[in-house]
């Protein structure tokens, strides 16, 4: 048993990983910190992860659900804390020299590693013109094709940002400005992932088991 000054093993592991990541980058190159999963491993673009609330009892993981119509499916949160939802895969954008590590404040694309009855992409984007009506003034995170893309084409660009209790998810509709994602509960008690200027949805990433091909 450690004394009063002992460092918890998991914290020590995360500190060591951060130091190794810093010293492995050539001098003069800024390397944003990797995003870590609940086991202290760097998130990889070649693996799938459950997106779970950092706070216990704050609901379950992220999933897909219909809103007004059967399709497209909106990104929602499971009500049951024991349900993990569907795993996601995060893919770094813009090349980054072939780096497959998911890093804090880097642009990523996100999709659910799951098939749906809608038979369309499960990649995330923020709803805009042409998406399902009935979601009100809130901008929801939706799966499926972008029906009315903007000139900038950044409807699908997201980032993972740091938080003292885990990580925050953000949508970056313009390169210089990102908006946090939060959970909005409608009058039927359903929880949706939306662009929010209120409390962010603070999450952790749990690696999903490998599914045999």
pLDDT in tens, 13-22: 444 444 444 4
Instruction: Residue 185: give the domain boundaries.
Output: 32-207
Among 41-55, 91-105, 169-183, the minimum mean pLDDT is found in 91-105
What would the two tokens of residue 134 be? 């009935």
Q: Is the pLDDT of residue 143 over 50?
A: yes
How high is the pLDDT of residue 107?
Answer: 94
* 196 assigned to some structural domain: yes
Which of the pair, 181 or 3, is modelled with greater confidence? 181
Interatomic CA distance for residues 121 and 115, integer angstroms: 8
**What tens digit of pLDDT does each residue of 160-202 get?**
999 999 999 999 988 788 999 999 999 898 999 999 988 899 9
In a domain, 1, yes or no: no
pLDDT class for 44, splitting at 50, 70, 90?
A: very high
CB 58 within 8 A of CB 81: yes
As to burial, measured by CB atoms within 10 angstroms (0-12 exposed, 13-18 middle, 19+ buried), residue 103 is buried
Q: Tell me the CA distances in angstroms from 108 to 88, 93, 95, 129, one per residue in order.
A: 12, 5, 10, 22
183 occurs within a structural domain: yes
Can you tell me the distance from the alpha carbon of 155 to that of 144, in angstroms, rounded to the nearest whole number? 12
State residue 20's pLDDT score. 45
pLDDT value at 1 more than 50: no
In a domain, 15, yes or no: no
- Identify the band that residue 51 occupies on the pLDDT scale cut at 50, 70 and 90: very high
Rounded CA separation 171/176 (Å): 11
Reported pTM: 0.81
Mean pLDDT of the chain: 84
Q: Which residues are within 8 A (CB) of 207 and not within 5 positions of it... i.e. 6 or more apart?
A: 37, 38, 39, 41, 47, 48, 49, 50
CB-based contacts of 115, cutoff 8 Å, min separation 6: 122
Which of 140, 149, 134 minimizes the C-alpha distance to 195? 140
Residue 188 lies in a domain: yes
Res 29: pLDDT: 53
Six-digit token pair at 158?
A: 């997201």
CB proximity list for 93: less than 8 A, separation 6 or greater: 106, 107, 108, 109, 157
The verdict on residue 104 lying in a domain is yes
Q: Is residue 187 part of a domain?
A: yes
CATH number at residue 176: 2.80.10.50
Angle at 100 between CA 204 and CA 195, to 5 degrees: 45
Return the number of other C-beta atoms located less than 10 Å from residue 78's C-beta.
19
> What integer is the mean pLDDT of 38-52?
97
Q: Is the pLDDT of residue 131 over 70?
A: no
Ramachandran region, residue 144 (left: φ > 0; alpha: ψ -120 to 50; beta: rest): left
Angle 29-110-178 from CA coordinates, rounded to 5°: 65
Q: Pull the structure tokens for residue 5.
A: 């000054």
User: Average pLDDT, stretch 90-114?
Assistant: 89
Q: What pLDDT does residue 138 have? A: 83
- 124 in a structural domain: yes
Provide the residue count of the chain. 213
- Note the pLDDT tens digit of each residue in 146-171: 988 887 889 999 999 999 999 999 99
Mean pLDDT computed over 198-210: 94
Domain count, the chain: 1
């Amino acid at each position: 048993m450690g004394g009063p000054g002992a460092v918890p093993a998991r914290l020590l592991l995360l500190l060591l990983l951060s130091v190794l990541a810093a010293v492995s980058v050539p001098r003069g190159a800024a390397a944003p910190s990797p995003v870590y999963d609940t086991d202290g491993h760097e998130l990889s673009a070649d693996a799938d992860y459950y997106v779970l609330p950092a706070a216990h009892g704050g609901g379950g993981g992220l999933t897909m659900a219909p809103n007004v119509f059967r399709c497209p499916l909106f990104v929602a949160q499971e009500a049951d804390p024991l349900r993990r939802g569907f795993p996601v895969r995060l893919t770094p954008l813009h090349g980054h020299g072939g780096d497959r590590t998911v890093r804090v404040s880097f642009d990523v694309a996100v999709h659910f590693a799951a098939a749906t009855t809608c038979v369309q992409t499960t990649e995330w984007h923020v709803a805009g013109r042409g998406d399902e009506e009935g979601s009100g003034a809130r901008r929801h995170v939706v799966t499926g094709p972008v029906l009315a893309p903007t000139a900038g084409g950044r409807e699908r660009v997201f980032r993972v940002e740091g938080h003292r209790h885990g990580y925050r998810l953000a949508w970056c509709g313009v390169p210089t400005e990102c908006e946090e994602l939060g959970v909005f509960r409608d009058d039927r008690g359903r929880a949706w992932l939306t662009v929010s200027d209120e409390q962010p949805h603070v999450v952790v990433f749990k690696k999903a088991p490998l599914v045999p091909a």
